């Protein structure tokens, strides 16, 4: 490969200076001239018919400009099922659902007006568990489900309240179980957690009374998708809608949906052109935006005595919350890889996304894979233990390698999984005595690891333009949102590489859908790969124009030119080089501009069929990772402390190694939080009991151990410079790795997250009382009930 000047280097983040000086403007910071302030009245009931809303008193309060309810905003939206009203219509389905909103001259007035709105409810039966909500005979949360507009990926379920049923069928699992020497079935539980981005949610909207154009300022991950969704909901052509993105203070999936946006738009229609700002505070952000799906996962596996996986059956109940949001696609993309990155001849998966009367669940970094990895990777350890095999040997025997035909029918290539397994386990000292071989009394040390494969949404499209002006300055126009992941830096590096200009000559324009070419979304770890390719192509096109012009200036052919440091010169000639700016000035004049465009779609890609679970190219690329943990468990208190974490990730090619490490470390921290602390606790009235940073426990700087990251580069044939994605896998295997380490330490396994001190404490107590074979540290190879 040619020597690279910018790619593969830990270039300093180009957005860092604005961020360290406090001058970066985030959605929450934005102030618009003449704006009004919105506040929202939220439902206090989990499932109820709205008998009456009286907004008269609120309307009469001085300073109030608009009061809206579902009646004033008769629109519904949704990514794949149009089931979500802008504001509740006739019914509420969770505590925290927006029922009415006020726009006023200041926040205090708006809040005071909200308090004057009267709502009368008639309660309906409510469900707080996905398994209960889909019991035969359960009351429907969406009576009109059948008549909703839906995308063609939607497969209705066989039982009440199931909004999507994903099926994967390969081989014959029943036959597979009969062939097996050992069959094991377990149930695993993952609770809902919060995205908890440090910046709470907010949106600003304005409707131009003359043209009817709707402008929304919001830090959203997917401005082009929400533009489309808004246009569909409002029945407007797309050009009548504009999304403008300020900086985003973290999202992790939460900011790709329409939540505050819909309320701001509904209000803006009533304010005669004055913009409206709606800000959610921390508690509202926890409850009324979105959460990560709770999941109940049943896995049944059949293995041969020698450790060969024969059959696996997975059944997953995804708690979707009150509205579909992204649940159908989470159900598909999360259920499809749920049997794990292994060669298994007989596979059956049934994923059910189920409505409940809880806060909505939607996209969260990892898109379902973290939940199923908690189940699958603990299950793998338990199988190994019962077989009397080493957990690493067991995985190495079954794990995907290059050229394997996966259970969904795809021939895999560029699989770096084995390397991540070997490197992570080596770094943690798997199979070796622990560093703390003499722990204090009552402290149990254990090690564990887990691996995953994460697909990306496929096929999707990114487009970009690269513009060079007569000063030689390069501007990237690309619809990737800087959510903190570092895309601005990565894309600048790619443009700088192709054009051979200094990195500080490259800038990326902020996102405005009226101006910037289309991008599917900043999700699914897709940006470096898709937008990276698009920017690369655009930069090449711009470069070609420069070299063509330079060739005529130098009176030579393009092939004789070489580029470096923003200049072009003729190889082996003494003639002085011309800067890009000079080339443009001489050929096009001092106002001249050169621009190239580029687009990328993984053409042959096709998402898995929700009826069969099959696709020959289900994902443009797969991200592979293994993480390993060493833990110390305090037997008397149940507290788990981490001694060390190791993460080995196959990134294809590290465009910016420092940034890769930073992404992985951040993922680890999030995964550690999910493993040990994080859970949105919902009581039996459907209320979130801990919607604050006091009681929803993000890890602090004192809660994290030494983290070692290992970058594995198994290049992707289609990725820019071989790169794959990286954003999501950082947290996916973490809880399972820690869970396996805790099981290794205690000799007892815990199937439910988080591994809070109290949960671990009771598990230890239970295992002391009845040391059952299923939780014994000794393999139970001869257990007749498990063996056939």
* CA 90 vs CA 51, 87, 264, 435, 624: distances in Å: 8, 10, 20, 62, 46
Among residues 200 and 307, whose Cβ is nearest to another protein?
200
Q: Please state whether beta strands 162-170 and 346-355 pair in parallel, antiparallel, or not at all (unpaired).
A: antiparallel
- As to burial, measured by CB atoms within 10 angstroms (0-12 exposed, 13-18 middle, 19+ buried), residue 3 is exposed
Number of residues that bind another protein (CB under 8 A): 98
Our finding on whether 746 is near another protein (CB under 8 A) is no
Our finding on whether 438 is near another protein (CB under 8 A) is no
- Contact pick of 6, 7, 8, 35 for another protein (by CB under 8 A): 35
Question: How far is it, in rounded angstroms, from Cα 350 to Cα 333?
Answer: 12
Query: Candidates 181-189, 192-200, 220-228, 319-327 — which segment interacts with another protein by CB under 8 A?
Result: 192-200
Least CB distance to another protein at residue 761 (A): 6
Among residues 565 and 692, whose Cβ is nearest to another protein?
692
Question: How far is it, in rounded angstroms, from Cα 734 to Cα 647?
Answer: 9
Least CB distance to another protein at residue 248 (A): 6
Residue (of 70, 49, 52, 60) closest to 116 by Cα position: 60
Among residues 337 and 362, whose Cβ is nearest to another protein?
362
Residue (of 378, 453, 383, 328) closest to 181 by Cα position: 383
- Contact pick of 438, 575, 694, 769 for another protein (by CB under 8 A): 694
Our finding on whether 61 is near another protein (CB under 8 A) is no
3 state DSSP class of 392: helix
Our finding on whether 690 is near another protein (CB under 8 A) is yes
Query: Candidates 136-144, 243-251, 414-422, 770-778 — which segment interacts with another protein by CB under 8 A?
Result: 243-251
Residues 212-231 that bind another protein (CB under 8 A): 217
- Contact pick of 431, 435, 504, 693 for another protein (by CB under 8 A): 693
Least CB distance to another protein at residue 570 (A): 35
Least CB distance to another protein at residue 482 (A): 6
Range 430-435 contact pairs with CB under 8 angstroms and sequence separation of 24 or more: 430/392, 430/628, 431/390, 431/392, 434/630, 435/630, 435/643
Our finding on whether 193 is near another protein (CB under 8 A) is no
Our finding on whether 592 is near another protein (CB under 8 A) is no
Residues 105-134 that bind another protein (CB under 8 A): 105-109, 111
- Contact pick of 250, 592, 715, 747 for another protein (by CB under 8 A): 250
Q: How far is CA 229 from the centre of its chain?
A: 19
What contacts 595, CB < 8 A, 6 or more positions away?
465, 466, 467, 468, 542
3 state DSSP class of 77: strand
Least CB distance to another protein at residue 647 (A): 10
Least CB distance to another protein at residue 60 (A): 15
Q: What's the DSSP call for residue 145?
A: G
Question: How far is it, in rounded angstroms, from Cα 624 to Cα 420?
Answer: 7
Where does 186-273 have alpha helices with state H? Answer: 223-234, 260-268
Least CB distance to another protein at residue 214 (A): 17
Our finding on whether 657 is near another protein (CB under 8 A) is no
Question: How far is it, in rounded angstroms, from Cα 260 to Cα 517?
Answer: 25
Our finding on whether 637 is near another protein (CB under 8 A) is yes
Residue (of 574, 708, 695) closest to 642 by Cα position: 708
Give the tokens for residue 31: 């102030």
Least CB distance to another protein at residue 696 (A): 9
Our finding on whether 298 is near another protein (CB under 8 A) is no
Residue (of 602, 595, 600, 594) closest to 463 by Cα position: 600
Q: Binding pattern to another protein, positions 140-179, x when CB under 8 A?
A: ----------------------------------------
Our finding on whether 439 is near another protein (CB under 8 A) is no
Least CB distance to another protein at residue 83 (A): 29
Where does 680-756 have alpha helices with state H? Answer: 734-746
Among residues 410 and 482, whose Cβ is nearest to another protein?
482
Among residues 311 and 682, whose Cβ is nearest to another protein?
682
Among residues 157 and 667, whose Cβ is nearest to another protein?
667
- Contact pick of 62, 589, 717, 784 for another protein (by CB under 8 A): 62
3 state DSSP class of 365: coil
378 beta partners: none
Question: How far is it, in rounded angstroms, from Cα 227 to Cα 241?
Answer: 6
b/e 660-694 (16+ beta carbons within 10 angstroms → b):
bbbbbbbbbbbbbbbbbbbbbebeeebbbebbeee
Least CB distance to another protein at residue 683 (A): 8
Our finding on whether 700 is near another protein (CB under 8 A) is yes
Our finding on whether 21 is near another protein (CB under 8 A) is yes
Among residues 14 and 101, whose Cβ is nearest to another protein?
14
Neighbours of 189 (CB within 10 A): 16
Residues 465-524 that bind another protein (CB under 8 A): 482-486, 488, 507-510, 512
Our finding on whether 670 is near another protein (CB under 8 A) is yes
3 state DSSP class of 36: strand
Return the half-sphere exposure (C-beta side, CA atoms, 13 A cut-off) of residue 787.
11
Query: Candidates 95-103, 281-289, 571-579, 594-602 — which segment interacts with another protein by CB under 8 A?
Result: 281-289
DSSP for 94-156, written as a single string: STT-EEEEEEESSHHHHHHHHHT-EEEEEE-----SHHHHTSTTPPPS-TTGGGS-B-TT---
Our finding on whether 692 is near another protein (CB under 8 A) is yes
Among residues 700 and 772, whose Cβ is nearest to another protein?
700
Among residues 15 and 179, whose Cβ is nearest to another protein?
15
Question: How far is it, in rounded angstroms, from Cα 420 to Cα 184?
Answer: 27
């Amino acid at each position: 490969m040619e020597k690279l000047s910018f790619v593969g280097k830990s270039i300093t983040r180009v957005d860092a200076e604005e961020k360290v000086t406090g001058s970066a403007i985030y959605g929450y910071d934005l102030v618009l001239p003449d704006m009004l302030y919105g506040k929202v009245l939220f439902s206090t009931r989990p499932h109820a018919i709205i008998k009456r809303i009286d907004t008269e008193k609120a309307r009469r309060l001085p300073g109030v400009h608009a009061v809206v309810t579902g009646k004033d905003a008769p629109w519904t939206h949704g990514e794949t099922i149009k089931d979500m009203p802008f504001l509740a219509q006739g019914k509420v389905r969770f505590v925290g659902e927006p029922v009415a909103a006020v726009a006023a001259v200041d926040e205090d007035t708006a809040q005071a007006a909200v308090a004057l709105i009267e709502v009368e409810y008639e309660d309906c039966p409510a469900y707080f568990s996905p398994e209960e909500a889909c019991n035969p005979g359960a009351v429907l949360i969406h009576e009109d489900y059948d008549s909703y507009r839906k995308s063609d990926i939607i497969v209705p379920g066989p039982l009440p309240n199931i909004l999507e049923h994903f099926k994967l069928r390969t081989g014959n699992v029943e036959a597979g179980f009969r062939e097996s020497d050992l069959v094991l079935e377990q149930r695993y539980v993952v609770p809902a957690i919060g995205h908890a981005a440090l910046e709470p949610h907010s949106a600003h909207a304005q409707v131009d009374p003359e043209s009817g154009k709707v402008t929304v300022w919001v830090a959203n991950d997917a401005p082009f998708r929400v533009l489309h969704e808004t246009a569909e909901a409002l029945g407007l052509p797309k050009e009548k809608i504009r999304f403008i993105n300020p900086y985003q203070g973290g999202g992790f999936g939460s900011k790709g949906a329409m939540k505050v946006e819909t309320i701001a738009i509904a209000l803006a229609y009533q304010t005669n052109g004055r913009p409206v700002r709606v800000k959610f505070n921390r508690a509202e952000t926890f409850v009324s935006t979105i959460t990560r799906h709770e999941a109940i996962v049943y896995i049944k596996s059949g293995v041969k005595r020698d450790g060969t996986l024969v059959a696996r059956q997975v059944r997953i109940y995804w708690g979707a919350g009150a509205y579909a949001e992204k649940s159908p696609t989470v159900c598909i993309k999360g259920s499809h890889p749920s049997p794990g990155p292994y060669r298994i001849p007989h596979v059956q998966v049934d994923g059910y996304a189920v409505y409940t009367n809880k806060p909505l669940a939607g996209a969260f970094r990892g898109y379902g894979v973290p939940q199923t990895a908690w189940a699958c990777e603990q299950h793998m350890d338990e199988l190994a233990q019962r077989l009397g095999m080493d957990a690493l040997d067991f995985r190495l025997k079954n794990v995907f390698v290059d050229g394997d035909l996966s259970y969904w029918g795809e021939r895999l290539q560029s699989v770096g999984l084995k390397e991540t397994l070997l490197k992570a386990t080596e770094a943690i000292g798997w199979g070796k005595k622990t560093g703390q071989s003499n722990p204090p009394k009552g402290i149990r040390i254990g090690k564990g690891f887990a691996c995953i494969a994460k697909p990306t949404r496929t096929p999707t499209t990114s487009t970009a333009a690269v513009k060079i002006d007569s000063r030689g300055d390069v501007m990237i126009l690309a619809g990737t949102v800087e959510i903190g992941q570092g895309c601005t830096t990565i894309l600048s590096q790619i443009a700088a590489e192709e054009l051979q200009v200094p990195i500080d000559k490259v800038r990326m324009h902020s996102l405005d859908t009226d101006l910037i070419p289309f991008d599917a979304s900043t999700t699914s770890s897709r940006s470096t790969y898709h937008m990276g390719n698009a920017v690369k192509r655009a930069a090449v096109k711009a470069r070609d124009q420069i070299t063509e012009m330079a060739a005529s200036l130098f009176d030579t052919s393009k092939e004789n030119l070489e580029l470096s440091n923003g200049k072009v010169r003729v190889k082996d000639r003494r003639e002085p080089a011309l800067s890009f700016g000079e080339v443009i000035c001489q050929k096009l004049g001092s106002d001249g501009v050169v621009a190239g465009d580029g687009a990328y779609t993984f053409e042959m890609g096709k998402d898995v069929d929700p009826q069969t679970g099959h696709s020959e190219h289900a994902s443009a690329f797969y991200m592979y990772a293994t993480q390993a943990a060493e833990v110390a468990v305090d037997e008397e208190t149940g507290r788990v402390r981490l001694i060390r974490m190791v993460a080995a990730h196959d990134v294809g090619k590290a465009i910016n190694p420092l940034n890769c490490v930073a992404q992985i470390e951040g993922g680890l921290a999030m995964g550690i939080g999910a493993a040990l602390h994080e859970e949105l606790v919902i009581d039996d009235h459907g209320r979130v009991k801990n919607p604050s940073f006091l009681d929803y426990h993000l890890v602090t700087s004192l809660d994290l151990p030494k983290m070692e990251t290992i970058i594995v580069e198994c290049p992707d044939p289609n990725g820019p410079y071989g790169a794959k994605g990286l954003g999501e896998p950082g947290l996916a295997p973490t809880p399972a790795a820690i869970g396996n380490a805790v099981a290794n330490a205690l000799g007892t396994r815990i199937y439910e997250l988080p591994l809070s001190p109290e949960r671990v404490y009771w598990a230890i107590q239970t295992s002391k009382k009845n040391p059952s074979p299923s939780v014994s540290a000794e393999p139970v190879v001869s257990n007749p009930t498990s063996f056939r």
